[in-house]
């Protein structure tokens, strides 16, 4: 590359074009290069794995699990630890050789990523990483590169959802095989724009299967979320704050802290956990602490408790809390203690001991709560009342205001938008973007709360099921409902969710706060013409158009 690194996979990428010296997220250029080399290796593995699958062969679970975890580790704000990527890379070479042997003879010439052999020393690995390119069309065909980057980022997001389902014992051959197929397609020079667009729509459909799988994993393991008042102020005593998306980590932590006098608070995307029956039954699940991921460096400053980061949303730990933060799963930061799983079980003793040593808060805060737990089961249990209210005109419109939060200026659009929604409308929300407005009072309509918190970003499946059920009740399509999607994006899980929505034919989506840097002007035109996607402008202008 002509620069130390190049990364534009998140919304906050430098100047809206790409990080070239170091990542805005905190990723160093050497780690960025290792991540690219790991993706390169995964593409090579997938080339051979696709050949095995085409021959009706099976890919072993440990190989699939490696691919899911390795791909997940390259998402924004997940892993920043160079040693972890060196380990991933060394394992990737062993796996590539296994899958190549299983594939047998390949008649055609091998793509470079398939033929590539990782060197032995760390110095040579890093040197190779600095030279590899996973964007071969960047200069010659920006539209093909844009489509392939969109595919890669969508696959990264889907790998995250597949990971969450897998740790609960749920997996799908359709999802797993598509991850191999999609990564192998990155090496196929014969694919033109039309074929890549079709593959993106297929990825969206497979991701719907993946989100359904994760929904089933969560609800069959922890029960269906219930409308629940969640405390957002702290209690006296030792505590642990757990952040991220991994509900199984939370379950194990609750089991291991039971009876020890330690309160457990969710943070960020973990907030919806408070509404699951099998989690909220633990009395020391005390509520939710803080807001969205980008505020953690301020919120965690000198915090008198331990912090556990699961899955993604990690920022560089500040000195004021570096001695009390731990990582788990694929999350990593250099020199931060990591809790490894042994036979699927994690021992959180170091986190518990740190919480007890720090002592926690010295007194209770005055109690305040917010309402959560309106996933598909809870919301659709009121479907009759909702439908009647729509028919009588008490409810005029639905807004799904959801997606990722972030620090870039312009995200106040979403809080202003919610504040300006008419009182005869309902606001559905999910993911961490809701922290912009979920602690404010929005009142009721037709006897229902106006703000219905559906859950995490992966609970977009719940939102889709709610929309489909309403469309069925009125014998119309989802696009015919008085429903507008107002989405904020930040990282790669938002990409795969958008692909799912588009693959379902859902139109008239408002997307912001800025458009992805990896979407070329021609690809954007295709999305606008085929799906009526709108970049967000001003609240007043957009609201008028939506309600017209």
pLDDT digits (tens, 9 = 90+) for 42-57: 999 999 999 999 987 8
User: Are 352 and 382 within one domain?
Assistant: no
How many Å apart are CA 241 and CA 325, to the nearest integer? 9
Are 407 and 314 members of one domain?
A: no
| 519, HSE (Cβ side, Cα atoms, 13 Å) | 18
Residue (of 59, 271, 69) closest to 164 by Cα position: 69
Give yes or no for a contact between 491 and 407, defined as CB atoms under 8 angstroms apart: no
- List CB contacts of 208: < 8 A, sequence separation 6 or more: 461, 464, 500, 503, 504
pLDDT at 186: 98
β-partners of residue 448 are 445
The Cβ of residue 516 has, within 10 Å, a number of other Cβ atoms equal to 23
Q: Quick check: is 368 in a domain?
A: no
Same domain, residue pair 78 and 100: yes
212 & 318 share domain = no
- What gap in Å lies between CA 270 and CA 310, rounded to an integer? 9
Are 335 and 455 in the same domain? no
CATH of the domain at 162: 1.20.1270.20
- Report the CATH number at residue 396: 3.40.50.2030
215 domain-assigned: yes
pLDDT over 80 (residue 38): yes
Mean pLDDT confidence for 288-316: 96
Note whether 445 and 461 are same-domain residues: yes
pLDDT at residue 357, as a whole number = 98
Number of domains in the chain: 3
pLDDT at 533 over 70: yes
Q: Which of 457, 362, 445, 447 shows the shortest CA–CA distance to 400?
A: 457
Residues 347 and 438 in one domain: no
Give the C-alpha separation, 308 to 296, whole Å: 12
Whole-number Å distance between alpha carbons of 310 and 236: 25
Same structural domain for residues 306 and 414?
no
At residue 39, the pLDDT reads 98
According to DSSP, residue 532 is labeled: -
Average pLDDT of the chain to the nearest whole number: 96
Pairing between strand 444-445 and 448-449? antiparallel
pLDDT tens figures, 445-477: 999 999 999 999 989 999 999 999 999 999 999
What residues contact 417, with CB distance under 8 A and at least 6 apart? 399, 401, 486, 539, 542, 543
Helices (H), 55-81: 61-73
pLDDT tens-digit map of 94-114: 999 999 999 988 878 899 999
- With respect to residue 146, please indicate whether it lies within any of the assigned structural domains: yes
Distance CA 326, CA 309 (A): 6
Read off the pLDDT of each residue in 262-288 and give the average, rounded to a whole number. Answer: 98
114 and 250 belong to one structural domain: no
Q: Looking at the domain assignment, is residue 54 inside a domain?
A: yes
Q: For residue 8, is it within any domain?
A: no
Give the domain-ending residue among 174, 193, 220: 220
Whether 366 is in a domain gets the answer: no
Beta strands in 365-518 (DSSP E): 369-372, 397-403, 425-430, 444-445, 448-449, 451-455, 483-488, 510-512
Q: Are 499 and 201 in contact (CB under 8 A)?
A: yes
From 220, 247, 268, give the residue that closes a domain: 220
Alpha carbon distance 183, 178 (integer Å): 8
What residues have CB less than 8 Å from 279, skipping those under 6 apart? 222, 247, 250, 251, 254, 273, 285
* Rounded CA separation 7/14 (Å): 9
388 in a domain, yes or no? yes
Q: Quick check: 2 pLDDT over 90? A: no
What gap in Å lies between CA 162 and CA 204, rounded to an integer? 14
Query: Do 382 and 349 reside in the same domain of the chain?
Result: no
Domain range spanning residue 344? Answer: 228-358
**Domain closes at, from 180, 199, 220:** 220
Strand residues in 302-343 grouped as ranges (E): 306-309, 325-328, 338-339, 341-342
In a domain, 363, yes or no: no
Q: How far is CA 444 from CA 232, 450, 453, 492, in A?
A: 21, 5, 14, 34
Query: Are residues 299 and 324 both part of a single domain?
Result: yes
Q: Are residues 447 and 507 in the same domain?
A: yes
């Amino acid at each position: 590359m002509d620069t130390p690194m190049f990364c534009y996979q998140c919304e906050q990428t430098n100047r809206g074009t790409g990080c070239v010296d170091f990542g805005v997220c905190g990723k160093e250029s050497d780690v960025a290069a290792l991540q690219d080399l790991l993706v390169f290796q995964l593409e090579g593995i997938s080339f051979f794995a696709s050949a095995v699958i085409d021959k009706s062969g099976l890919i072993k679970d440990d190989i699939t699990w490696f691919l899911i975890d390795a791909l997940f580790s390259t998402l924004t704000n997940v892993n920043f630890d160079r040693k972890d990527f060196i380990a991933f890379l060394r394992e990737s070479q062993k796996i590539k050789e296994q899958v190549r042997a299983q594939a047998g003879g390949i008649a055609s010439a091998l793509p470079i990523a398939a033929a590539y052999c990782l060197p032995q020393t760390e110095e040579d690995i890093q040197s190779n990483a600095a030279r590899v390119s996973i964007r071969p069309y960047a200069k010659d065909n920006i539209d093909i590169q844009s489509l392939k980057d969109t595919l890669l980022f969508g696959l990264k997001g889907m790998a995250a959802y597949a990971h969450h389902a897998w740790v609960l014992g749920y997996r799908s051959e359709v999802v797993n095989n598509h991850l191999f197929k999609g990564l192998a397609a990155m090496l196929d020079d014969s694919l033109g724009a039309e074929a890549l667009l079709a593959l993106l729509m297929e990825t969206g459909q497979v991701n719907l299967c993946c989100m359904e799988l994760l929904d089933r994993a969560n609800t069959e393991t922890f029960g269906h979320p219930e409308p629940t008042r969640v405390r957002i102020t702290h209690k006296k005593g030792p505590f642990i704050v757990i952040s991220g998306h991994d509900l199984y980590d939370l379950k194990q932590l609750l089991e291991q802290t039971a009876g020890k006098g330690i309160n457990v608070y969710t943070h960020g995307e973990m907030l919806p956990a408070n509404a699951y029956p099998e989690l909220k039954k633990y009395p020391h699940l005390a509520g939710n602490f803080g807001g969205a991921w980008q505020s953690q460096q301020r919120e965690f400053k000198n915090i008198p408790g331990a912090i556990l980061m699961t899955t993604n949303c990690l920022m560089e730990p500040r000195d004021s809390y570096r001695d009390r933060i731990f990582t788990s799963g694929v999350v990593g930061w250099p020199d931060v203690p990591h809790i490894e799983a042994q036979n699927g079980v994690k021992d959180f003793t170091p986190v518990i001991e740190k919480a007890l040593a720090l002592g926690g808060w010295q007194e209770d805060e005055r109690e305040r709560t917010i309402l959560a737990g309106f996933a598909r089961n809870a919301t659709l249990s009121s479907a009759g009342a909702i439908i009647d209210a729509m028919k009588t005109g008490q409810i005029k419109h639905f807004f799904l205001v959801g997606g990722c939060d972030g620090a870039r200026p312009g995200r106040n659009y979403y809080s202003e938008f919610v504040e300006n929604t008419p009182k005869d409308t309902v606001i559905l929300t999910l993911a961490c973007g809701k922290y912009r407005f979920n602690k404010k009072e929005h009142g009721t309509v037709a006897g229902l709360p106006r703000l219905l918190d559906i859950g995490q970003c992966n609970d977009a499946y719940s939102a889709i099921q709610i929309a489909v059920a309403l469309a069925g009740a009125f014998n119309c399509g989802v696009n015919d409902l008085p429903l507008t999607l107002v989405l904020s994006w930040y990282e790669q899980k938002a990409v795969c969710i958008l692909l799912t929505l588009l693959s379902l034919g859902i139109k008239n989506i408002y997307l912001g706060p800025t458009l992805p840097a990896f979407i070329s002007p021609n690809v954007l035109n295709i999305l606008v013409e085929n799906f009526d996607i709108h970049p967000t402008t001003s609240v007043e202008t957009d609201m008028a158009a939506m309600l017209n």
